[in-house]
Structure 1
Amino acid sequence: MSRYLEKLMNSENNLMVFREDELIFQSSGRGIAPLIEAVDAIGRENLSGVTTADRVVGKAAALLNLYMGAAEVHAGVISSGAKAILSEHGVQYQFLEDTDVVKAKDGVVFCPFEKLVWDVSDPEEAHTLIRAKLAEL
């Protein structure tokens, strides 16, 4: 287990963002919202090169990490779509478990954000779609 995942798993947080081993953002919020909160709190221009540790990384979260300019992603659970998009963009990642897709809280259907970006490969487009969907909720 990476030191970033170890810090995450030993905390109440669902997302931690590091710059050169310094914790610069943390959130115990659920789902995709903490990544958007990090962008809003720190500013996209200040996130380039960060390392994120997230309990669950689906394709939507992976695309937001690309939007942020993350250099590394550490996931408790990662989806196949997330691994593919991160690899395609040369972002290093580590994980504890992998899954085909991230499912919704009921464990049966796809996570609505995973479904939202299923055919999306552009981080800018994903960011716009995810923000719009969060605003509806």
Structure 2
Amino acid sequence: MKRLIELLHSEGCSCVIESQGEIRAFRQRGVADLYDLYQNERDFMQNAQLADKVIGKGAAALIALGKMKEVYADIISTPALSLLQAAGIKTSFGKEVPFIINRAQTGRCPLESLCAELDTAEEIYPIIEKFVAQIRTTNNLEK
């Protein structure tokens, strides 16, 4: 895990994952990389180790659904930590916060807000799907 954390900080990526002896660095914002992995490469997620800058409840749901083994976050929200612990995933972090703040730093992260009242990764997943689709549609319209 120490090597993954070092890579996370030295490479300036959003997260680093090691699975089956392969290390990958990711750079998309938010939950996009974890969502894409869960959609397309669930085998890579299973029993993997992850080092991430920020883990909110949405990311935690994808980590749990992907059956990752161990995670580290520079910053983790209390709801995310609870979800990971309930899933039996070994979790360490730099700082725990009540919730993840949005990019403008004006309030809660939108996905964290959408997931706030949901308890399980299975309940959260359809919300993530819809959220990612909306973000990608909006971003394509802006190009």
Tell me whether 1:34 sits opposite 2:29 in the alignment: no
CA contact (8 A) 1:54 1:76 kept: yes
CA contact (8 A) 1:67 1:123 kept: yes
SS state of the match for residue 101, structure 1? coil
SS state of the match for residue 28, structure 2? coil
Aligned mate of 1:60, from 55, 58, 61 = 58
Written as runs of structure 1 = structure 2, the 5 A alignment for 1:81-96 is: 81-96=79-94
Specify the alignment match of 1:12 in structure 2.
12
CA contact (8 A) 2:83 2:120 kept: no
Residue 54 of structure 1 deviates from its aligned partner by: 1.0
* Counterpart Cα distance in 2 of 1:92 and 1:111: 24
Structure 1: gaps spanning 5 or more residues? none
- Which entry has the higher C-alpha Rg, 1 or 2? 2
* Counterpart Cα distance in 1 of 2:63 and 2:92: 14
* Counterpart Cα distance in 2 of 1:83 and 1:107: 21
Specify the alignment match of 1:130 in structure 2.
128
Offset from partner CA, 1:28-72 (integer Å, 9 cap, x none): 11111111122234x224421111111100111111100111111
> Mean alpha-carbon deviation: is it higher for 76-85 or for 11-20?
11-20
Structure 2: gaps spanning 5 or more residues? 136-143
CA contact (8 A) 1:14 1:27 kept: yes
CA contact (8 A) 1:73 1:93 kept: yes
* Counterpart Cα distance in 2 of 1:90 and 1:19: 18
Q: What TM-score, normalized by structure 2, do the two folds share?
A: 0.85
CA contact (8 A) 1:50 1:71 kept: yes
Identity within the alignment, %: 26
* Counterpart Cα distance in 1 of 2:134 and 2:20: 35
CA contact (8 A) 2:4 2:17 kept: no
The RMSD of aligned alpha carbons is: 1.7
Specify the alignment match of 1:77 in structure 2.
75
